[in-house]
Amino acid sequence: MQSQNKSFTKGLQVLKEVMGTNKPITANILCQKLGIDKSTMSRLVTTLMSEDFIEYKDNTKEIVLSDIVRKIVNKDDRDKIIEKTSALLDEVFYLTNECAYIGILDNSSTLYLNQIDKSKRVLKTRNSIGLHSPLHSSGFGKVLIAFSNEIDIDNLELTKFTSNTITSVGKLQKEIDLIKERGYAIGSEEHEFGLKSVAVPYFNKKNQFVGTVGISGLSVRLEDEVLHKYGQEIFKLVNSHN
């Protein structure tokens, strides 16, 4: 019984380590981190795979969470982000009177988790909750590139959507450097004519980058001077919540 408990504990340690890393991990690295010998690790990995907790990525020996576990973990994490940022989005909306969003990085694109628009306008920004958008063509996506440290812009597909879309890696890199310096990003009709956005990074209480908070609205209301003003104000507001 004691031997079974030890094995169970080690299996949970392996699963916890795989869940805690943002990148695929090998059995050898798990051995080094957890101080478990290779033969024991092999048995633990085989058991966890047979129970559909983990799997090998593609045709490699790199270990990742199984699709089932990943969906459960992602849903739980995303629900927590929505809950913790709802009041903040309210404040962003009342500050700007524009639709406020929280977005996260998902499969090299922006995933919009939540949006709040309490305006009485007849024409409102469409519902984007659960939708994905390219990283390079909005303020939200550019913040994710700048602060996530997970995106190699050389590997991004810089699709042209409008005449304002950034399609040059060099130009995008300059934009990212500027965003890091001033703390906010602007999207100026780069994905769709008539729409502009401004977004800032959102960090949790542990100073870990979570995603991006900002607004999107019609370009006739959001001139460049207004966008820069809102960028600075939203940055201060978001940081006051950390």
Q: Write a three-state SS string for 1-61.
A: CHHHHHHHHHHHHHHHHHHHCCCCECHHHHHHHHCCCHHHHHHHHHHHHHCCCEEECCCCC
Q: Which of 103, 126, 146, 130 is closest to 192 using CA atoms?
A: 126
Q: Which two tokens stand for residue 102?
A: 């929280």
The predicted structure's pLDDT at residue 5: 65
Q: Which domains does the chain have, with CATH numbers?
A: 2-65 (1.10.10.10), 75-240 (3.30.450.40)
In DSSP terms, 185 is beta-bridged to 199
| Listed residue (179, 56, 170, 159) closest to 108, CA to CA | 159
CB contact set of 66 (below 8 Å; sequence gap of 6+): 52, 53, 54, 55
* Helix (H), strand (E) counts: the chain: 7, 8
pTM of the model: 0.73
Question: 50 near 33, Cβ under 8 Å?
Answer: no
Amino acid at 38: K
Per-residue pLDDT of the chain (242 residues; tens, 9 = 90+): 445 567 788 888 999 888 877 678 999 999 999 999 999 999 999 999 998 888 998 888 899 888 777 767 677 788 899 999 999 999 999 999 999 999 999 878 999 999 999 988 876 677 888 889 999 999 999 999 999 988 889 989 999 999 999 999 999 999 999 999 999 999 999 999 999 999 999 998 888 899 999 999 999 999 999 999 999 999 999 998 86
